[in-house]
Amino acid sequence: MRLKSLASKEVIDVENGQKLGVLGKADLIINPDTGEIKSLVLLNSGIMRLSSARKHATLDWTQIAAIGEDTILIKSTPLE
């Protein structure tokens, strides 16, 4: 899956059913040794609830519960 295909997906918190907005522009933080995705950096998105008043929010990859055709399901707290 390409990063740009994630941009149009709506983000929903599975813990409370709240729609957080569309992912929009994002960058990836990748572990250079393993190639593993560590987190998504959401730039000027509608998901600012996750980051107070900053211009970006960081969503830890372990918070993503599932990526579907139209939605990304996340948990407010990272999954173990």
User: Residue 80 is which amino acid?
Assistant: E
Residue 49 placed within a domain: yes
Is residue 79 within 8 Å of residue 13, measured between CB atoms?
Answer: no
CATH of the domain at 12: 2.30.30.240
Residue 79 placed within a domain: no
Residue 64 placed within a domain: yes
Q: In total, how many domains does the chain have? A: 1
Give the residues across from 19 on adjacent strands.
Answer: 12
Per-residue pLDDT of the chain (80 residues; tens, 9 = 90+): 677 777 788 888 898 888 877 777 778 899 999 999 898 887 655 554 555 555 677 888 999 999 999 999 989 765 55
Residue 80 placed within a domain: no
**Range(s) of the domain holding residue 44:** 3-74
